[in-house]
Structure 1
Amino acid sequence: MGVLKATSSWLSGGVPFPRRRSEHGWVLGITDFWTYVLGTAAIVLLPGPNSIFVLSVAAQRGVRAGYRAAFGVFLGDTVLMVLAAAGVASLLQAYPPIFMVVKYAGGAYLAWVGLGIIRSAWRKWRARGTANGSTVGDAIAHSEQAPDNTMVRPWPLEQTGSQSAGSAVPSGADAGDETARRRGADRAGMQRPFRRALIVSLLNPKAILFVVSFFIQFVEPGYAHPALSFLVLGAVLQFFSALYLSGLIFGGQFLAGQFRRRRRLSAAASTGIGVLFVGFGVKLATATAG
């Protein structure tokens, strides 16, 4: 089995294993299970690109899109855990060029996402007066035509009776075409959070090394089925991640209400998130495998 080979390679490579069993022994090859639970809960609460991305998507596009982004994070984390169990971490450490390529690609992608958020926030700031002088349709069309709207787009403007008399409302076939176009754009937008969250998760070689260095401390080296141990540890991690991301998603809905009433606050918050993503990209690009 690949996991057994990986386990033997870790042993031969000098990776430290906990030789001491807990007072109550080990179950399913896991030692000090409750210590692992506490450590996992603390680690999940640390802010990172995945959690901030999910919060941003939920605040901008709602609960459904937020959970699409969360599912992208879940899948990405699952893939990384499988790769870690299969011995990819040893490969990254043995061949630094592979680690360098992945980390630079991940850093560049995070920075690109951050710059896209900043550009969209700047457009939102400049267009904050659209509600007073333009139609709702014009505002929506502007947000949908933006080339970088895959992450953030201006808040939908609410139609009121104070709109100018010259506001045009599509009807008949034009209204049907407009509705279909908007629904198609919404469906496309709902797919992008999942894809982007997945890419953000996967393009992080440090995450693979972290999974190995953290998980392996709680796996009994003499256990005959280490894959089962990794499965249980991974399930615990995903459980806490699901709880945390769900809290962020519904918290993002509260922020959405605040941002709809305060467009400048929305633009400023989006700019801050963009700067964070650029910072995450720089941090990843300068990371080392050790």
Structure 2
Amino acid sequence: MIDTQTLILFAAAVLALLVSPGPNMAFLLSHGISHGARGGLAVAFGIFVADLLLTALTATGITAMITAWPPSFDVIRYFGALYLLWLAIQTIRQHGSPHLVEKRSASTWSIFRMAMLNSLLNPKALLFFMVFLPQFVAPARGNLPLQLAMLGVVLSLIALVFHCALGLASGKVGRLFQRSASAARYFAWFHASIFVGLAARLLLLERPTTR
């Protein structure tokens, strides 16, 4: 359905985008450092599931329908920003004490869920999938939804491998600070600042212009 040359070009473009710092990378690094490799891998798989869901939305045309209604952009980003601010508050409340190291109890499932929602509640992610994937579709080969789905799965798998490697690396860095209560408190506040920064980024996004 998709020729090898297109797949190679697509994979190269995906890797180039992944190495550029962005909200997913910041989210993953902060959790990997704060929760170790377990946290980093949970974020990686949360992003992976979100990517697959966004692929399905794009292939079925739902993403185009959502973005065609201008208020949807604001609705999604406001919910996303409120969610991130809530996470920041919870991080300080649960982990900002002198006994941070002992109280660090976020479950793998909760980290996975947070990562998935962080991706899904970002309107830029919807727009990215809707704009990026079709560039590598060949109408002459037919079955456009299937081509979009295949490209989305390839993107998701490449991103999963990249994010897993990054999660493991950040987990090793995090282990250097696990025995220090003062360092742990610092990373709790750093972790919360990541959430606040991502929320601010969402609030400052400009709605795409429509004609």
Q: Could you tell me whether the CA contact under 8 Å between 1:84 and 1:209 is conserved in 2? A: no
Q: Could you tell me whether the CA contact under 8 Å between 1:75 and 1:198 is conserved in 2? A: yes
Q: Could you tell me whether the CA contact under 8 Å between 2:39 and 2:167 is conserved in 1? A: no
Q: Could you tell me whether the CA contact under 8 Å between 1:52 and 1:273 is conserved in 2? A: no
What displacement does 1:92 show?
A: 2.8
Match status 1:197 vs 2:143: no
Q: Deviations over 1:167-193 (max 9, x none)?
A: xxxxxxxxxxxxxxxxxx96x723211
**Identity within the alignment, %:** 30
2:154 corresponds to which of 230, 236, 259: 236
Structure 1 counterpart SS, 2:81: helix
What displacement does 1:106 show?
A: 0.9
Aligned to 2:14: 40
Report runs of 4+ in structure 1 exceeding 6 Å deviation.
none
Q: Deviations over 1:6-25 (max 9, x none)?
A: xxxxxxxxxxxxxxxxxxxx
What amino acid maps onto 2:33 in structure 1?
A: A
Q: Which has the larger radius of gyration?
A: 1
Q: Could you tell me whether the CA contact under 8 Å between 2:33 and 2:171 is conserved in 1? A: yes
1:218 corresponds to which of 109, 114, 136: 136
What displacement does 1:105 show?
A: 0.5
- The 1:30/1:88 distance shift into structure 2, 3 A limit, reads farther
- Structure 1: give runs of 5+ residues left out of the alignment: 1-26, 128-138, 140-153, 158-184
Q: Could you tell me whether the CA contact under 8 Å between 1:29 and 1:223 is conserved in 2? A: no
Q: Deviations over 1:81-113 (max 9, x none)?
A: 111222223223321122221111012212222
Q: Could you tell me whether the CA contact under 8 Å between 1:118 and 1:271 is conserved in 2? A: yes
- Structure 2: give runs of 5+ residues left out of the alignment: none
Structure 1 counterpart SS, 2:177: helix
Q: Could you tell me whether the CA contact under 8 Å between 1:28 and 1:228 is conserved in 2? A: no
Q: Deviations over 1:257-284 (max 9, x none)?
A: 2112433333323323322321211221
Structure 2 counterpart SS, 1:269: helix
Q: TM-score w.r.t. structure 1 length?
A: 0.63
Q: Deviations over 1:101-157 (max 9, x none)?
A: 111101221222234334555x24xx1xxxxxxxxxxx5xxxxxxxxxxxxxx2239
Q: Could you tell me whether the CA contact under 8 Å between 1:76 and 1:201 is conserved in 2? A: yes
Aligned to 1:272: 190
Aligned to 1:111: 85
What displacement does 1:45 show?
A: 2.0
What displacement does 1:241 show?
A: 1.2
- The 1:280/1:91 distance shift into structure 2, 3 A limit, reads same
Separation of aligned partners in 2, 1:47 and 1:110: 19
* Larger helix fraction of residues: 2
